[in-house]
């Protein structure tokens, strides 16, 4: 049993309120994604409703249970704003949480307010930066509505084996595992610190499916042959080309969902070196792929590919109709096209 003194009772009450608040905010996040046209599949809706995003995107200090400030002291915009009156109104503070706002003075009360503020930010529909090295963003948790769109675009029915490129916090892997079941998800990242955190988050969540996720430290461009073949490959990092290893490790008829050209392209795999598909309508921005030792011969540099996509292919249009564009992989050749793979408007991703 916990402490029975005044401080122990206060901490116990706060922990209960924190858990109620997390559930309320998570439910509201799901409703907002639904209102925007997402999460039409009940199974994906259940995954987003049940997997606790805050366990993956907030570190131990962010909970505020210990009475100490989190990183940087006061709550910052990275986590989605403060916990003032505007959040009381927006998120239904009061009856939705079971009790009123956090009041009181002193370090414990201030810490509790910061914890609630961070919790609110964890369920806002915005990305959260989770790892910065040398001033460069190397890992983040994507905007929940975009994650929902990508999950549904995978067109899964249950039991498919998925390779995720970019482990991040482990939250997306947890969503995938919730939807697909135990022993279906492999996630890979280049940095040991990222994979260690993802593994810790999945274990802390603790469901059978989450604990079964295989977390690999390695170059994502090379895939992970020991767990192949995969029915789906999903990347959560910006790409300059399609790594051949992903096609080789995906079953014929399988699907690759990849961020490319500030958009998302869904490729159907037709063979070890053949795939084709179109872009989804939504724009999407991700941290660039790191490693990349699996580049095909003659692959364009990332900067050149970005220039082709941003200026030539989309013509500098503010809101291009991305669904008119597609990508074809045929052996060593990869090219972007508009309207038709064999039409006059094509842009090579490889030079051979």
Q: Determine the pLDDT at residue 247.
A: 96
Half-sphere exposure for 336 (CA within 13 Å, toward CB): 27
Reported for 133-140, long-range contacts at CB under 8 A and 24+ positions apart, including other chains, are 137/287, 138/191, 138/194, 138/287, 138/290, 139/166, 139/168, 139/169, 139/189, 139/191, 139/194, 139/287, 140/168, 140/287
DSSP E strand boundaries for the chain: 128-133, 136-141, 162-165, 185-189, 214-217, 230-235, 250-260, 263-271, 274-283, 325-330, 333-338, 346-348
Lowest mean pLDDT among 64-73, 156-165, 231-240: 64-73
260 closest CA partner among 349, 158, 136: 349
Q: Is residue 311 packed enough to be buried (19+ CB in 10 Å), middle (13-18) or exposed (0-12)?
A: exposed
Going from the C-alpha of 334 to that of each of 138, 272, 281, 288, 296, the distances in angstroms are 26, 14, 21, 19, 9
pLDDT given at position 71: 30
Task: List, by residue number, the catalytic residues.
Answer: 139
Rounded to whole angstroms, how far apart are CA atoms 302 and 109?
48
pLDDT band with cut points at 50, 70 and 90 for residue 14: confident
Q: Please, where in the chain does CATH 3.40.50.150 lie?
A: 133-348
Residue 80 CB neighbours (<10 A): 21
What is the predicted pLDDT for the residue at 89? 35
Q: How confident is the model over 125-149, as a mean pLDDT?
A: 80
- pTM of the model as a whole: 0.81
Superfamily of domain 133-348: Vaccinia Virus protein VP39 (3.40.50.150)
Higher pLDDT, 62 or 69: 62
Q: Which of 81-90, 145-154, 243-252 comes out lowest in average pLDDT?
A: 81-90
Question: Is the model's pLDDT at 314 over the cut of 80?
Answer: no
Give SS3 for 93: coil
């Amino acid at each position: 049993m916990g402490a029975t003194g005044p401080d122990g009772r206060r901490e116990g009450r706060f922990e209960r309120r924190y858990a109620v608040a997390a559930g309320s905010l998570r439910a509201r996040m799901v409703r907002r994604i639904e209102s925007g046209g997402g999460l039409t599949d009940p199974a994906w809706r259940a995954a987003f409703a049940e997997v606790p995003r805050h366990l993956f995107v907030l570190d131990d200090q962010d909970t505020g249970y210990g009475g100490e400030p989190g990183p940087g002291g006061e709550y910052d915009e990275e986590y989605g704003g403060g916990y003032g009156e505007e959040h009381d109104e927006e998120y239904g503070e009061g009856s939705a949480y079971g009790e009123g706002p956090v009041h009181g003075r002193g370090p414990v009360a201030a810490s509790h307010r910061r914890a609630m503020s961070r919790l609110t930010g964890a369920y806002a529909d915005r990305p959260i930066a989770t790892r910065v090295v040398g001033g460069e963003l190397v890992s983040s948790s994507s905007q929940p509505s975009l994650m929902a769109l990508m999950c549904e675009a995978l067109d899964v029915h249950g039991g498919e084996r998925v390779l995720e490129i970019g482990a991040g916090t482990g939250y997306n892997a947890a969503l995938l595992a919730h939807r697909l079941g135990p022993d279906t998800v492999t996630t890979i990242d280049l940095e040991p610190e990222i994979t260690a955190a993802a593994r810790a988050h999945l274990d802390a969540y603790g469901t059978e499916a989450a604990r079964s996720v295989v977390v690999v430290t390695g170059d994502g461009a090379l895939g992970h042959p020991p767990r192949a073949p995969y029915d789906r490959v999903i990347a959560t990092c910006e790409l300059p080309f399609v790594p051949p290893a992903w096609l080789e490790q995906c079953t014929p008829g399988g699907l690759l969902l990849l961020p490319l050209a500030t958009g998302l392209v869904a490729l159907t795999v037709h063979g070890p070196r053949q795939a084709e598909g179109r872009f989804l309508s939504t724009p999407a921005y991700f941290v660039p792929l790191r490693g990349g030792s699996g580049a095909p011969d003659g692959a364009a540099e990332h900067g050149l590919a970005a220039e082709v996509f941003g200026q030539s292919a989309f013509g500098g249009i503010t809101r291009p109709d991305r669904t008119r564009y597609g990508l074809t992989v045929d052996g060593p050749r990869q090219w972007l096209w508009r309207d038709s793979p064999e039409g006059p408007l094509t842009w090579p991703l490889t030079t051979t």
